[in-house]
Amino acid sequence: MTEIDCSGIKLPLGINEIKRLIPHRAPFLLIDKVTELCLYKSCTAYKAISYNELFFQGHFPEHPVMPGVLIIEAMAQTAGVLAIASISSQNIDAPKAVLFASIANVRFRREVVPGDMLRLNVSVLQQRSKIWKFKAEAYVGDKISDEAEFTAMIS
């Protein structure tokens, strides 16, 4: 189903549209679909967690758990989609990168395992020129698995 969100962009965004917005590629592209996008405000993306993910080979073979740092990276990639789509919507040259400046208030609340569908909700807390501050939450079903606030520089 195609919808138009408050961004005016046809949703959902699939992998090809995501790849046009952010530079990440397999095996480090950690979002599969964007279902909500409100420019300069919020974005919701999803990552299907498969046992075939490369990181499960070593984390951990007998008890596969998605590394928390990769969940934070998936949140950051969702924020990157939000920031780049927002800036591009104003006919400004799209930035080349969204780079972490700081990460704060990180909480890992539950394991994310193969078979889970990770929902990533990101909202803009503050935006000044090239510096953006985001709040992000990751959910499996209706249960929060992870949360963080981070600052990024858009270059």
CATH code where residue 128 lies: 3.10.129.10
- Which residues are identified as catalytic? 59
Kindly report, residue by residue over 85-98, the tens digit of the pLDDT.
Answer: 999 888 777 777 88
**Domain membership of residue 85 as a residue range:** 3-154
Please count the structural domains in the chain.
1
Give residue for tokens 């927002």: 86
Q: What is the pLDDT of residue 3?
A: 60
Contacts of 142 (CB under 8 A, 6+ apart): none
Backbone angles phi, psi at 152, to 5 degrees: -135, 150
Condensed to tens digits (0 to 9), the pLDDT of residues 54-81 reads 999 999 989 999 999 999 999 999 999 9
Query: How buried is 17 (Cβ within 10 angstroms: 0-12 exposed, 13-18 middle, 19+ buried)?
Result: middle
**Would the pTM of this model clear 0.85, i.e. be above it?**
yes
